[in-house]
Amino acid sequence: MLKPSILLILLLLFCSELITAQVKISSWNLQNFGKTKSESEINYVADVLNEFDVVALQEIVAGFGGTQAVAKLADALNRKGAKWDYAVSDPTESTPYATERYAFLWKTAKVKREGRAWLDRNYVAEIDREPYMMDFNFKGQSFTLVSFHAIPKKKQPETEIKYFKFLPGKYPDKNLVFLGDFNIPQSHTVFNPLKKAGYLSVLVDQKTTMKMECVGEECLASEYDNIFYNSGKLKSLNFGVKLIYKSFPNMKAVRRISDHIPVWAEFEFSSEEGQCQ
């Protein structure tokens, strides 16, 4: 018969497993995905993304080729040992030159979708490419990804991002995770309202766009892509970027994949209900 102390240790270990969940999320601007990517390039993208549980993609072309490319990417991921599902947005309500789609992909054994994804229309008149949102559930813990591709830096993306401070109030019951290509660094003051509300960026002083050519060992240009999470609801366990240019002979070759590198973060979701009390 087990001693009470051993039973307590086993119970604590079991409860810890029940009330803690970890999910690995990635975001990647794939630069005209659906227009310029060959089968071998799509397979490379699948190799890069296969380690994650859920992925947010930006800059999917608005035409049929964008949706078709995401379907091919999901098929390539499905051939790597895990079952993936995906969702592609309608074209954004943008000026013709800027309209595009977003996409989410996820491992169905790890993450469950909750309802349909949607393009947020709260500030569709103020934001050129309105964010794409989707509710997910990971081992009983719900979270909502808010994927976004801001207007270029020269067009002042802060004029769009300033509306993000209102979204937690628009969705008070959702655990929002903002991610994507913001075209400005996390240090910009436009993010201060989110930070004051408890949102943190996983990356700080990390460049995520690639130069046309490396200058010595420096191949990255700007700090644009990031993931912002509610530190009151999530704990960042690990994070980073994928230095994809190291897999190619030169910058011209890697920029056929994208001019951005993927960013990622692993989060812990802790239950507030105390399932093992």
**Around Cβ 10, how many Cβ atoms within 10 Å?**
11
Contact 147, 120 (CB under 8 A): no
Class of CATH domain 22-265: alpha beta
Average pLDDT of span 98-105 = 95
pLDDT tens sequence across 26-81? 999 999 999 877 889 999 999 999 999 999 999 999 988 999 999 999 999 999 99
Q: Residue 96: what pLDDT? A: 77
Write phi, then psi, for 163 (nearest 5 degrees). -80, -10
Q: What percentage of the chain exceeds 70 in pLDDT?
A: 90
DSSP β-bridge partners for residue 215: 218
Residue 10 in this model has a pLDDT that exceeds 80: no
pLDDT tens sequence across 106-153? 999 999 999 999 999 999 999 999 999 999 999 999 999 999 999 999
Q: Residue 274: what pLDDT? A: 36
